Amino acid sequence: MSPRTSRKSGNVPVEAEAPPRISRCPHCGTPVEGSEDVFCCSGCEMAAAIIRSAGLDSYYLQREAFPPRPEGGGGDWDAVPLAVREDGMAEIRLQVDGLRCASCVWVTENVLQRTEGVEEVTLSYATGRARVRWDPERLKLSEVAGRISTLGYRPRILGEEGAPDTDLLVRLGVSAFAAANIMMLSAALYTGWLGGMHPRYVALFQWISLALAAPVAIWCAEPFFVAAVSGLRHRVLHMDLPIALGVSVLFVHAAVVTVRGSGDTYLDSMGMLVTLLLAGRVLESRGRRRAAEAATALAATAPATGRRRVGTAVEVVTAEELVPGDLMDVASGEELAADGIVTAGRGSVRMALLTGEAEPVEVGPESRVVAGSVLMEGFLTVRVTAVGRETVLQQMAHQLRLSADRGVKPVFTDRIAPWFTGATLTVAVATFAGWYLAVGMEKALLTSVAVLVVACPCALALSRPLAAAAGLGASARRGLLFRSGDALLEMGAVDVVALDKTGTVTAGDLEVVASDPQALRIASGLERFSSHPIGRAITRAAVDGGIPLPEAEEVREEAGFGISGKVDGREWEIRSGGPGKVVLRGKSGEVWTILLGDRVRADSRSAVEGIMAGGGREVVLITGDVEGIAARMATEAGILEYQAAFTPAMKADWIKARQDEGRTVLFAGDGVNDGPGLARANVGVAMGTGAASSILVADGVISVPSLRPLLAGFSAANAAKRSIRQNQLRSIVYNLGAVTVAAAGLVNPLVAAILMPLSSGMVILGASRVERAVAVETRHAGIPAPGSGRR
Task: Provide the binding-site residues for another protein, judged by CB under 8 A.
Answer: 102-103, 106, 122, 124-126, 164, 166, 169-170, 173-174, 177-178, 180-181, 201, 204-205, 208, 212
Nearer to another protein, 201 or 419 (CB): 201
Nearer of residues 151 and 552 to another protein, judged by Cβ: 151
Q: Which CB, 167 or 405, lies closer to another protein?
A: 167
Q: In angstroms, give the least distance from the CB of 106 to another protein.
A: 5
In this structure, which amino acid lies at residue 260?
R
User: CB-wise, 474 or 742, nearer to another protein?
Assistant: 474
How far from each other are the two terminal CA atoms of the chain, in whole angstroms?
Answer: 17
| Residue 173 Cβ vs another protein, minimum distance, rounded to whole Å | 5
Per the DSSP assignment, residues forming a β-bridge with 449 are: none
Smallest distance, another protein to C-beta of residue 105, A:
8
User: Side chain identity at 696, as an amino acid letter?
Assistant: L
Q: Say which amino acid occupies 726.
A: Q
The minimum distance between CB 699 and another protein, in angstroms, equals: 25
Find the shortest distance in angstroms from Cβ 166 to another protein. 5
Q: How far is the CB of 348 from another protein (least distance, A)?
A: 45
> What whole-number distance in Å separates Cα of residue 329 and Cα of residue 345?
10
Q: What is the dihedral of CA 745, 751, 753, 759, to 10 degrees?
A: -90
Taken as a whole, the chain contains a residue count of 791
580: left (phi over 0), alpha (psi -120 to 50) or beta: left
C-beta closer to another protein: residue 92 or 212: 212
DSSP string, 471-495: HHHHHHTTTEEES-HHHHHHHTT--
Provide, rounded to whole angstroms, the least separation between the CB of residue 705 and another protein.
24
CB of 765 to another protein, least distance (A): 23
Amino acid identity for residue 421 in this structure? T
C-beta of residue 158 within 8 angstroms of C-beta of residue 95: yes
Question: ∠ CA(86), CA(89), CA(93), 5° rounding?
Answer: 115
Kindly report the backbone phi and psi dihedral angles of residue 482, in degrees, each rounded to the nearest multiple of 5, phi listed first.
Answer: -110, 145
CB of 126 to another protein, least distance (A): 4
Between 208 and 361, name the residue whose CB sits nearer to another protein: 208
Closer residue to another protein in complex, CB, 209/723:
209
> Which residues are 134's β-sheet partners?
90, 118
Nearer to another protein, 188 or 439 (CB): 188
Closer CB to another protein, 126 or 314, in the complex: 126
Specify which residues 549 forms β-bridges with. Answer: 32
Q: Which is nearer to another protein, 181 or 664 (CB)?
A: 181
Q: Which is nearer to another protein, 566 or 790 (CB)?
A: 790
Residue 262 phi, psi (nearest 5): -145, 135
Contact predicate 21/34, CB 8 Å? yes
Nearer to another protein, 126 or 430 (CB): 126
CB of 125 to another protein, least distance (A): 4
Distance (Å, rounded) from C-alpha 728 to C-alpha 460? 6
Closer CB to another protein, 212 or 487, in the complex: 212
- Smallest distance, another protein to C-beta of residue 659, A: 39
SS3 category, 135: coil
Strands 581-586 and 570-576: antiparallel
CA R_g for the chain: 32
Minimum separation from the CB atom of position 278 to another protein (A): 13
Report helix, strand or coil for 117.
Answer: coil
What Å distances lie between residue 446 and 196, 252, 260, 431, CA to CA?
A: 22, 12, 14, 10
**CB 217, min distance to another protein, A:** 16
305 contact partners, CB below 8 Å, separation of at least 6: 75, 76, 79, 316, 317, 318, 319, 337
Give whichever of 180 and 341 is closer to another protein, judged by the CB atom: 180
745: left (phi > 0), else alpha (psi -120 to 50), else beta? Answer: left
Q: Pick the closer one to another protein by CB: 173 or 757.
A: 173
The least distance separating another protein from the CB of residue 181, rounded to whole angstroms, comes to: 6
Check residue 35 and report its DSSP letter: S
Task: Provide the minimum distance between the beta carbon of 123 and another protein in the complex, in angstroms, as a whole number.
Answer: 9
In this structure, what are the phi and psi dihedrals at residue 14, rounded to the nearest 5 degrees? -105, 175
Smallest gap from residue 205 Cβ to another protein (A): 8
Tell me the C-alpha distance between 201 and 206, whole Å: 8
Residue 13 or 162: which CB sits closer to another protein? 162
Question: Which long-range contacts does 192-195 make (Cβ < 8 Å, 24+ apart)?
Answer: 193/750
User: Does residue 754 sit in helix, strand or coil?
Assistant: helix
Torsion, CA 642, CA 648, CA 649, CA 654, rounded to 10: 20
361-368 contacts, C-beta under 8 A, 24 or more apart: 362/579, 366/341, 366/342, 367/341, 367/342, 368/339, 368/340, 368/341, 368/342
DSSP H helices, 638-748, are 648-660, 675-680, 692-697, 709-743
Question: 10 Å Cβ neighbour count for 737?
Answer: 12
For residue 685, give Cα distances in angstroms to 272, 498, 506.
Answer: 39, 10, 15
Instruction: Pick between residue 153 and residue 420 the one whose CB is nearest to another protein.
Output: 153
In sequence order, the 6+-apart residues with CB closer than 8 A to the CB of 740 are none
Question: To 10 degrees, what angle do helices 709-743 and 604-612 make?
Answer: 30
For residue 200, the minimal CB distance to another protein (Å) is: 8
Nearest to 209 by CA among 254, 252, 171, 262: 254
Nearer to another protein, 168 or 453 (CB): 168
**Nearest distance in Å: CB 211, another protein:** 8
